[in-house]
Amino acid sequence: MNKIVGVLLAGGGAIALGGIALHRHEPINALWIVTAAVCIYALGYRFYAAWVAARVLSVDPSRATPAERYDNGRDFVPTHRWIAFGHHFAAIAGPGPLVGPTLAAQFGYLPGTLWILVGAVLGGCVQDMTILLLSTRRDGRSLGQMARDELGAFGGFAALIGTLLIMILLIAVLGLVVVNAMKHSPWSTATIFATVPVAMLVGVHLRRLRPGRILEASALGVALVLLAVLAGGWVDTHPLLRGVFDWSSLPLAGFVIGYGWIAAILPVWLLLAPRDYLSTFLKLGTVALLAVAIVLLHPQIKMPALTSFVDGHGPLFGGKIFPFVFITIACGAVSGFHALISSGTTPKLIASEADVRLIGYGSMMLESFVAIMAMIAATLLDPGVYFAINSGAGVVGSAPAAAVHTISSWGFPVTVQQMQALAHEMGETTLFARTGGAPSLAVGMASIFGSTFGRGLLSLWYHFAIMFEAVFILSTLDAGTRVGRFMLQDLLGHLYEPLGRTSWYPSVLFSSTLVVAGWGYFLYVGVIDPNGGVNILWPLFGIANQMLAAIALSVATGILVKSGKARYAAVTLLPLAWLAIVTTAAAWQKILSADPRIGLIAAARALSAHLAAGTLPAQAAAAAPQLIFNQRLDAWLTGIFTAVLWLVILDMGRVCARKLRGLPVPAPSEAPYQAARLQPEGGT
């Protein structure tokens, strides 16, 4: 039976991939991509994941999990595997897999799609499942604690610093995505502003009126935010209110920063927790709806398989296909951040070790599929339209006529009339230079939903998609600021003990302000950057995220070797080696490349030269000193990430070498075996 299914899957996958290959020079249907993806995931899950779980990780259903041993009805709760799957997926899936593929589509649909599939099946899913099992075997310890216990103090410290830095970059770049979606769009701005009081209302409902009635409160909240989308459309047509909500990017950045600071110091029940319920509902609902719509509509992909931008002069961000496609798409292929969720919260819910394949490997497969859908939504647009929306004014010019001329000269014809008609259909004044990925994804989603469920509602679908992205970007922003604050307090507590107390209000204020100032700074510089800022921030975030994945895979490899499984170490070592290569290559180019579109130092030098020669327009000259400083700072940060990455890898290598030579290594921190009384549910 197993063999028949395997042969069918392999055959289906081969036919779908063959279809993609044969249609290389003509438009292909999105259904080929969906079919290839589903077959590859199914093969990966059925064979590779099962082999890794059984042989490499020695998953043992007879061994009691911490949820069973400490079962206290609160944080340690043995949970049905599909429910734990839902929890885990809701926690790992954020806006990352939507933005990365949209940006990487500048290389064509093929490179990003292949990396999403291969990276997930051999890298990301394996990382998530392995860390989940290792943490389950260690009473749900965090990645940082495992790094400290198994490798040594340095690994633990590196994981902490890495997490804090990646958090700050993540929030800044996501903030920038929201700002770019809201600027001069009264409809989007009004709708997104309205989600704040809606979340607070849900919070009050849950706290004061009907404690813990999460389902009814969330349903109420979702209904209200949908109403807010409609109300935004009304605001857009109102002559006075339209002006009130027509903001430019700098005040919007101020709003996001102020919002983040207030959300960080308010009690969680008022804003953070209720917003998260809303975003979870919208996320699960929209992802399901998008999958159904793509299958029903099965649109044609209009982007070529490969564009000429693989040579590095792409308008969204500079850099060749290698290594930058692997940096741009982190979430959806391999995301180091997931290791933080897979260690800590989820292990305390695992009822049986037999469930880690579904929860760890399976959730990441679904996230990867979300990335595939984002790639489809980006590449079904006319390439000319895609580039007009996503190219910054600094690259193609700020006048529409100049922008369409440049983009058409690349071989992607587009006209001003076409863009105006599209903007009008979507209920916006302009869609030119809306960098960051959210608006182009929203146009793609609106076309899919509109064609499937009613064409007349395009502008509503567009603003629904913008609201959907904004709600969970803001929820990541709240949660991330809070986590960043805890980590900072943990660090500061070593310097001055009271600062480490998470409930001491002066420390809360002080550390929240520091974290918000950290990401607020990068957000501000991104907003004043004429190239849109995302072109610098997103690769930096990608490098940071891959660095965290490399730390997680180092911990996993170290533990495998220490537990006598050196012959299977390639399972985690190969993805680790690949990530180390792409991250180092990308960091090398970001720091040292002489091309100012790629190299940060070269960009700073070029800008200084222009500034000194007086060739910059007045506005650009005013922003130039800050941009120059920021480019140097980013180069330093990139250097720090790479140094941390290699120190952790060397530390892991040292521990492994000692183990293989029979020298003493840090003692394994696995909890002792205890027989399970619970039986795994169903077969696996």
Partner 1 sequence: MTVRDLRAVMGRTVAATVGWLRAVTGDDAYERYLTHPARTHEGPPMSRRTFYEEREKRKWSGVSRCC
- Which residues here bind partner 1, judged by CB under 8 A? 71-75, 77, 79-80, 82-83, 86-87, 90-96, 142, 163, 170, 174, 206-207, 211-215, 218, 268-269, 272-273, 276-277, 280, 330-331, 335, 337-338, 340-341, 344-345, 475-476, 479-480, 482-483, 486, 502, 545
Nearer to partner 1, 91 or 527 (CB): 91
> Mapped to the 3 state alphabet, what secondary structure does 539-585 carry?
HHHHHHHHHHHHHHHHHHHHHHHHCCCHHHCHHHHHHHHHHHHHHHH
Q: How far apart are CA 593 and CA 590, in angstroms?
A: 6
Nearer to partner 1 by Cβ, of 56 and 479: the residue is 479
Amino acid letter, residue 554: S
Least Å distance, CB 219 to partner 1, is: 10
Nearest distance, CB of residue 63 and partner 1, angstroms: 21
User: How many whole angstroms separate alpha carbon 209 and alpha carbon 203?
Assistant: 10
- For residue 105, give every residue at least 6 positions away whose Cβ sits within 8 Å of its Cβ, in sequence order, or none: 112, 303, 375, 378, 379, 386
For residues 581 and 652, give the distance between their C-alpha atoms in angstroms, rounded to a whole number. Answer: 16
Task: Decide: helix, strand or coil at residue 301.
Answer: strand
Q: Rounded to an integer, what distance in angstroms lies between the CA atom of residue 105 and that of residue 376?
A: 9
Task: Considering the complex, state which of residue 321 and residue 479 has its C-beta at the smaller distance from partner 1.
Answer: 479
Question: Are 252 and 523 spatial neighbours (Cβ–Cβ below 8 Å)?
Answer: no
Q: What's the gap between Cα 10 and its chain centre?
A: 30
- The span from the CA of 299 to the CA of 33, in Å, is 11
Choice between 426 and 479, CB closer to partner 1 = 479
How large is the C-alpha radius of gyration of the chain? 24
Give CA–CA dist 93/89, Å, rounded: 6
Measured from the CB atom, the residue of 212 and 662 that comes closer to partner 1 is 212
Question: Backbone dihedral region of 454: left (phi > 0), alpha (psi from -120 to 50 degrees) or beta?
Answer: left
Q: Which is nearer to partner 1, 217 or 445 (CB)?
A: 217
Instruction: Tell me how far, at minimum, the Cβ of 195 lies from partner 1, in Å.
Output: 16
483 vs 633, beta carbon nearer partner 1: 483
Cα Dmax for the chain: 78
Strand partners, 675: 63
* Nearest distance from C-beta of residue 523 to partner 1, angstroms: 16
For partner 1, the closer CB: 216 or 311: 216
Shortest Cβ 111–partner 1 spacing (Å): 21
- Look up residue 287 and give its amino acid: V
Looking at the Cβ atoms of 185 and 342, the one nearer to partner 1 is 342
The terminus-to-terminus CA distance of the chain in angstroms comes to 14
Asked if residue 581 lies in contact with residue 327, where contact means CB atoms within 8 angstroms, the answer is no
Q: Which is nearer to partner 1, 20 or 166 (CB)?
A: 166
**One-letter identity of residue 259:** Y
CA distances from 309 to 104, 315, 674 (A): 10, 8, 56
Residue 386 Cβ vs partner 1, minimum distance, rounded to whole Å = 23
Please, what is the minimum distance in Å from the beta carbon of residue 123 to partner 1?
Answer: 16
Residue 185 vs 507, nearer CB to partner 1: 507
In the complex, the smallest distance separating the C-beta of residue 474 from partner 1, rounded to whole angstroms, is: 11
Q: Which amino acid is at 109?
A: Y
Shortest CB 223 distance to partner 1, Å: 16
Nearest-approach distance from CB 218 to partner 1, in angstroms: 7
Least separation in angstroms between residue 683's CB and partner 1 is 19
Distance from chain centroid for Cα 230: 28
In angstroms, the Cα distances linking 338 to 341, 343, 346 are: 5, 9, 11
Rounded Cα distance between 164 and 144, Å, is: 12
Q: CB of residue 287 vs partner 1: minimum separation in angstroms?
A: 14
Closer Cβ to partner 1, 95 or 427, answer by number? 95
Question: What is the C-alpha separation between 683 and 18, in angstroms, rounded?
Answer: 34
Closer residue to partner 1, CB minimum distance, 3 or 208 = 208
Q: How far is the CB of 35 from partner 1 (least distance, A)?
A: 27
Indicate the residue among 213 and 238 with the shorter CB distance to partner 1. Answer: 213
Length of the chain: 684
Please report how close the Cβ of residue 607 comes to partner 1 at its closest, in angstroms: 30
State the residue for tokens 């299958």.
Answer: 295
Q: Give every CB contact of residue 99 below 8 A, 6+ residues apart in sequence.
A: 174, 177, 374, 436, 437, 438, 441, 538
Of the pair 25, 74, the CB lying nearest partner 1 is at 74
Residue 121 C-alpha from the chain's centroid:
17
- In degrees to the nearest 10, what's the CA dihedral of 438, 194, 269, 331? 0
Closest CA to 480 of 175, 74, 200: 175
Task: Render 54-66 in DSSP notation, one character per residue.
Answer: IIIS---TTBPPH
User: CB of residue 460 vs partner 1: minimum separation in angstroms?
Assistant: 25
Return the H-helix or E-strand segment holding 387. Answer: helix 383-390
* β-bridge mates for residue 63, sequence order: 675
Q: Is residue 49 within 8 Å of residue 125, measured between CB atoms? A: yes
**Smallest gap, in angstroms, from Cβ of residue 213 to partner 1?**
7
Q: Please say which residue, 212 or 564, places its beta carbon nearer to partner 1.
A: 212
